[in-house]
C-alpha cells in the first residue's frame, strides 16, 4: 500500500526515470549535425534517409534552414502496404516521392513540441510541398494530421526533427 510519504518519493523518481528514458531515446550528438546527419545518427530513420537520397533531397535538408521535419520512423514506413516503399524508391516515381517527403517539412521555422502543446487551437502551417498540415494536441500528445509525434524535439544545427508514427500522404 502506498503511503503519502511513498507517493512523494516514488512519483518524482518515476518522473525522473521517464525523462531519462526519453533522453536515451534522443541522440546525444543530435545538436552537432544537420537534419540529415541527425536522422542517420538516430538509427530510427533508415527508410527516410534512403528515400531522401532517392528523391535527391539530401542537399536541401543539409541547407541553412531552419526546418521542422516530421520524420516517419522505420516502423511508420513498415505500416504502408507491402511494396509501397520499393515502388516509391524507383526512379520513375521520383516526383511522387518528392511530393510525399516535402509534405513532411516546414521551412523557415523550428517548431518545438512545447510550442505545439501551448497552442489553444489547431494550426495549419504550409509545407515545402505546398499543402498545409494540421497540428493539434489531443490527450497530451502532438498530432500532425493523423500521425502522433512519438519522439519530439530532436535538435539539429539547421532545425528540429519530430519522429512520427505514420507516413503523411498529401
Model confidence at 29: pLDDT above 80: no
Lowest mean pLDDT among 1-10, 88-97, 99-108, 134-143: 1-10
Better-predicted residue by pLDDT, 135 or 26: 135
pTM: 0.79
Look at residues 39, 37, 77 and name the one whose alpha carbon lies nearest to residue 162: 39
- Domain of 155 in residue numbering reads as 29-164
Q: What would the pLDDT profile of 38-82 be if each residue is shown by its tens digit?
A: 999 999 999 999 999 999 999 999 988 899 999 999 999 999 999
**Band of the pLDDT at 31, cuts 50, 70, 90?**
low
Q: Does some domain include residue 55?
A: yes
81 in any annotated domain: yes
How many distinct structural domains can be found in the chain?
A: 1
Domain assignment present for residue 62? The answer is yes
Domain annotation covers residue 1? no
**16 in any annotated domain:** no
Q: What is the pLDDT of residues 113-162, one digit of tens each?
A: 787 777 777 888 999 999 999 999 888 889 999 999 999 999 999 999 99
The answer to whether residue 170 sits within a structural domain is no
Cα separation of 133 and 136, whole Å?
10
Q: Give a yes or no: residue 74 inside a domain.
A: yes
What CATH code is carried by the domain that includes residue 117?
A: 2.30.180.10
**169 in any annotated domain:** no
What's the confidence (pLDDT) of residue 116?
Answer: 75
State the pLDDT confidence band at 110, using cuts at 50, 70 and 90.
low
Q: Which residues pair with 126 in a beta bridge?
A: 132
Q: What percent of the chain has pLDDT over 70?
A: 81
> What residues does 144 pair with on adjacent strands?
135, 147
Amino acid at each position: 500500500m502506498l503511503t503519502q510519504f511513498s507517493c512523494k518519493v516514488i512519483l518524482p523518481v518515476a518522473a525522473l526515470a521517464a525523462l531519462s528514458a526519453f533522453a536515451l531515446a534522443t541522440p546525444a550528438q543530435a545538436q552537432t549535425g544537420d537534419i540529415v546527419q541527425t536522422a542517420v545518427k538516430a538509427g530510427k530513420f533508415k527508410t527516410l534517409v534512403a528515400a531522401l537520397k532517392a528523391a535527391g533531397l539530401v542537399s536541401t535538408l543539409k541547407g541553412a534552414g531552419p526546418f521542422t521535419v516530421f520524420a516517419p520512423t522505420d516502423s511508420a514506413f513498415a505500416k504502408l502496404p507491402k511494396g509501397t516503399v520499393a515502388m516509391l524508391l524507383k526512379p520513375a516515381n521520383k516526383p511522387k516521392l518528392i511530393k510525399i517527403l516535402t509534405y513532411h517539412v516546414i521551412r523557415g521555422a523550428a517548431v518545438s513540441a512545447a510550442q505545439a502543446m501551448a497552442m489553444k487551437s489547431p494550426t495549419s502551417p504550409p509545407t515545402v510541398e505546398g499543402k498545409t498540415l494540421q497540428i493539434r494536441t489531443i490527450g497530451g500528445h502532438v498530432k500532425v494530421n493523423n500521425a502522433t509525434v512519438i519522439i519530439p524535439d530532436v535538435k539539429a544545427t539547421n532545425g528540429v526533427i519530430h519522429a512520427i508514427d505514420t507516413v503523411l500522404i498529401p
